[in-house]
Amino acid sequence: MANPGFFERQAHARRNTGLLVFLFLTAVILITLAVCLVGYLVTRSQSSALPFHQWLISSHGLTTAIAVVLLVGIGSLVRWADLAGGGSRVAKMVGARLIEPDTNDTEERKLRNIVEEMAIASGVSVPDLYVMDSETSINAFVAGYTPGEAVMVVTHGALTHLTRDELQGVVAHEFSHILNGDMRINVRLIALLAGILMLGQIGLFMIRAGFYSGARSRNRDGRAQAAIGLIGLALLIIGYVGVFFGRLIQAAVSRQREMLADASSVQFTRNPEGIGGALFKIGMKGGYLDTTSHASDMNHMCFGESARMKFSSLLASHPPVNERINAIQPGMLARLRSRLRDTEPGQNLRQDNQAQAAGRAGPGDLVNHLVEPARGRTRGSSSPIRSSLTGDTPQPPAKLSTRVGTINPQSEAFAAHLLNQLPATFRNLLYTRAGAIQLCYGLLIYDLAQNDQKDRLRLIPQHSLLGGQQDLLDKMLPALSTLGEAARFPILELAMPALRKLDPEERDTLLENIQKLVAADNRVSLFELALTTFLDRHLSDGAERVIPVKYRNYRQVLPAIQRLLSLFARAGTESTDDADKLYMDAMAGFGAGSEESRAEKISMRELRETLEVLNRLSPLLKPAVIDACGYCVTHDGRVDVREYELMRLVADQLDCPMPPL
């Protein structure tokens, strides 16, 4: 069965969204009835003393109910629209600062190195990173609607108080939320709770307007002011009762996912001490966000509890820290406590943990501290990057969907080795807008003769930022040639944070320039097809929008599947006859008849349209599509670089992160 974990969790996350909407509507109905009851009691002496159920359908009752529904609905819709900007909007909401890709801060570079390593190993685009500078507590969260457009926010305390292993455990925990589709539900839950909370805020305003202003105007209409204050008090109570039940929903949804993310962190890093140590420090220092008014709104999103609240055993969005540590590894809590007791006076826990980690490699040592058989593999091995996706790797599994949403020792080794091999100047250029743009151009011309490279660059209009810059290309082209084809897409992923900083007009111009380079020789290679499709998806308007499920059976998308498998069959074979046979074998799993013929050519526009259609499939139907593509590229027992790049593109476009093979 194809990786039920990832795809079933994706489907479960989508179902949870519907469940949350249902629970929200239920809460709105109950709150509306409660407000109507208050209105009924207030107006009863002024009406004909109708029974409550009859009062509800009277003009007074209907007006009250409609007003409440509108207030709650508008409150949620306003916040929903406000958060449509995705993860970056959530980060700004809590006052987080964007960490520039080319930051010189040591702690921020450590975080970026860990995140880049994890992103390459998992096949997820490198997320934008933010830090909450004023927060000394230890916490973190991810936000966004799709894996390719996620952002990660950490507190300053997490950067300064956690060792590299511990920070790596936290990052792996957050990557689990990215891979499992938790981010979308987290952001939507903020919007739903905002509507319920709005009623309590209105009540608080009415209390101030009634009681405080009433004290200054008793001689005018003190009784009316007091009535407003009492109604406000009732609305405040009702509103916060609604929030209480909203927090219950929040906690019920979050607790199970937090335990799953803890387990995934250990699976990804194979270092339970990392996340265990981070949780232990949160237990001592706390993770409360004290500098933002949105701490309670964010509670379900964070690595640890972000807000103080009463009834924490009932309303907490996370299981107790001790319980989480013992679930990671029995006996770990006792070891961590013993380690703390043995620490000499004057030394903090951070120094103690750093001493134990002494002698390890610095940046990029994700594969250096493993507790499984990969322990013997060392960082910085001499094997070239170009060979790690070709003949020297074990035969890939028959079903590539089993790799989706996972991180394995081989992909970690590839990620760590790649980052270690990148020249410092080249890597720093990837973090700048100018360097990232030139990388896109360089990827299309680096294998050409020098004169041909200059001819191609003349096709690009001169521009201070978006034009061809020979001085930067001279620093990048030799490295691209040395690193080889297998490093092309991972390097592009490293440049994505800088490319996302381009204005919409600059993005459009960049895509136009890339099209000119691709069309220069009147042919489109598989890499050019993959590159242009990837950039169009992640840099075009609406890149952060949620793709809704539209198709729930293969018959509805059969033409799209046929076009896609036609391309893969041609890419995976040398002759037309072999391609036709491979195509028929791949299509057999979708019930297509033998009369279906393979398309000879597929344009870039057709490929984009095909992938857009297939991305609207139910998550549980996507594994078969990925496996059919995988069958085409693995039928000969190996995967070459161009096949991997095409496979990686399809997985990315279907929101199914695939690590290096």
Residue 592 lies in a domain: yes
414 near 388, Cβ under 8 Å?
yes
pLDDT digits (tens, 9 = 90+) for 309-324: 665 566 778 888 999 9
Checking if the pLDDT of 233 tops 80, the result is no
Are 649 and 558 in the same domain? yes
pLDDT band at 132 (very low <50, low <70, confident <90, very high): very high
Q: Can you tell me the mean pLDDT for 170-178?
A: 92
Alpha helices, H only, 422-469: 424-430, 433-445, 450-457
Angle 330-336-342 (CA atoms, 0-180°, nearest 5)? Answer: 140
For residues 263 and 406, the answer to whether their CB atoms sit within 8 Å is no
Arithmetic mean of pLDDT over the chain: 81
The larger pLDDT score, comparing residue 138 to residue 314, is at 138
pLDDT of residue 602: 80
- 7-58: pLDDT as tens digits: 776 677 666 667 777 777 888 888 888 888 878 887 776 555 788 888 888 8
Residue 171 resides in a domain: no
Q: Quick one: 106 exposed, middle or buried, by C-beta within 10 A (0-12, 13-18, 19+)?
A: exposed
Same domain, yes or no, for 639 and 573? yes
Q: Is the pLDDT of residue 575 over 50?
A: yes
**Are 566 and 645 part of one and the same domain?**
yes
Instruction: Examine the domain organization and report whether 517 and 432 are in the same domain.
Output: yes
Question: What does the alpha-carbon distance between residue 634 and residue 627 come to, in Å, rounded to a whole number?
Answer: 10
How many whole angstroms separate alpha carbon 337 and alpha carbon 200? 43
Q: Is residue 235 very low, low, confident or very high in pLDDT (cuts 50, 70, 90)?
A: confident
pLDDT of 239 strictly over 80: no
The pLDDT confidence band at residue 146, using thresholds 50, 70 and 90, is confident
How many alpha carbons lie under 13 Å from residue 452 in its C-beta half-sphere? 10
608 lies in some domain: yes
Bridge partners, residue 140, by sequence: 154
Q: How many Cβ atoms are within 10 Å of 638's Cβ, its own excluded?
A: 15
Q: Which residues contact 182 (CB under 8 A, 6 or more apart)?
A: 13, 176, 257, 261
- How many Å apart are CA 235 and CA 200, to the nearest integer? 6
| Number of separate domains in the chain | 2
Arithmetic mean of pLDDT, 225-246: 73
DSSP 212: I
> Which tokens hold the place of 308?
């103080």
Residue 47 is predicted with a pLDDT of 52
| 149, pLDDT greater than 90 | no
Residue 130 DSSP SS3: strand
* 23 is a domain residue: no
Q: From residue 308, how far is each of 249, 276, 299, 321, 536 by CA, in Å?
A: 17, 22, 10, 15, 43
pLDDT digits (tens, 9 = 90+) for 81-128: 888 878 899 999 999 999 998 888 999 999 999 999 999 998 888 999
- Same-domain pairing of 517 and 574: no
Residue type, 578: D
- Cα distances (angstroms) measured from residue 540 to each of 152, 397, 465, 508: 21, 34, 19, 7
Is 29 contained in some domain? no
Is pLDDT larger for residue 298 or for residue 502? 502
Please give the pLDDT value at position 223: 67
Q: Which of 205, 181, 161 is nearest to 71 (CA)?
A: 205
Which residue has better confidence, 369 or 650?
A: 650
Q: What is the pLDDT averaged over residues 164-182?
A: 90
Q: What is the tens place of the pLDDT at every residue in 505-537?
A: 999 999 999 999 999 988 888 889 889 988 988
Same domain for 434 and 478, yes or no, is yes
Cα separation, 434 vs 102, whole angstroms: 12
- Residue type, position 512, single letter: E
C-alpha dihedral over 58, 64, 66, 67, to 10 degrees? 160
Residue 319 tokens, joined: 């299981």
What are 565's two structure tokens?
């498998």
Give dist(CA 315, CA 244) in Å, integer: 8
Q: What's the pLDDT at 340?
A: 79
pLDDT value at residue 38? 78
Q: How far apart are CA 551 and CA 508, in angstroms?
A: 30
Mean pLDDT of 390-414: 71
- The verdict on residue 129 lying in a domain is no
Listed residue (603, 601, 621, 592) closest to 515, CA to CA: 603
Percent of the chain with pLDDT over 70: 84
pLDDT(157) > 70 = yes
Q: How confident is the model at residue 308 (pLDDT cuts 50, 70, 90)?
A: confident
Rounded Cα distance, 518 and 535, in Å: 13
The order of strands in the sheet holding 97-98 is 97-98, 128-132, 151-155, 140-143
Q: Is residue 619 part of a domain?
A: yes
What's residue 131's pLDDT? 97
Burial of 199-230, coded b for 16+ CB within 10 Å and e otherwise, reads bbbbbbebbeebbeebeeeeeeeeeebeebbb
* Averaged pLDDT for residues 277-294: 90
pLDDT value at residue 592: 62
- Strand positions, DSSP E, 179-324: none
What residues make up the domain containing 587? 554-653
SS3 131: strand
CA dist 567 and 347 (Å) reads 61
Q: Are residues 561 and 483 part of one domain?
A: no
Counting Cβ atoms within 10 Å, is residue 343 exposed (0-12), middle (13-18) or buried (19+)? middle
Residues in the chain: 661
Q: Would residue 278 count as lying in a domain?
A: no
Instruction: Render 148-181 in DSSP notation, one character per residue.
Output: GG-EEEEEHHHHHHS-HHHHHHHHHHHHHHHHTT
Residue 354 pLDDT greater than 50, yes or no: no
Residues 517 and 562 grouped into a single domain:
no
| Torsion-angle region of 123 (φ positive above 0: left; ψ -120 to 50: alpha; else: beta) | left
As annotated, the active-site residues are 174
pLDDT-based confidence at residue 358 (cuts at 50, 70, 90)? very low
Q: Give the confidence band of 638 by pLDDT, cuts at 50, 70, 90.
A: confident
Q: Is 359 exposed, middle or buried (0-12, 13-18, 19+ CB in 10 A)?
A: exposed
Higher-pLDDT residue of 491 and 599 is 491
pLDDT score recorded for residue 355: 39
> pLDDT tens digit string along 404-449?
888 888 888 889 999 999 999 999 999 999 999 999 999 999 999 9
Minimum mean pLDDT among 252-261, 382-391, 541-550: which range?
382-391
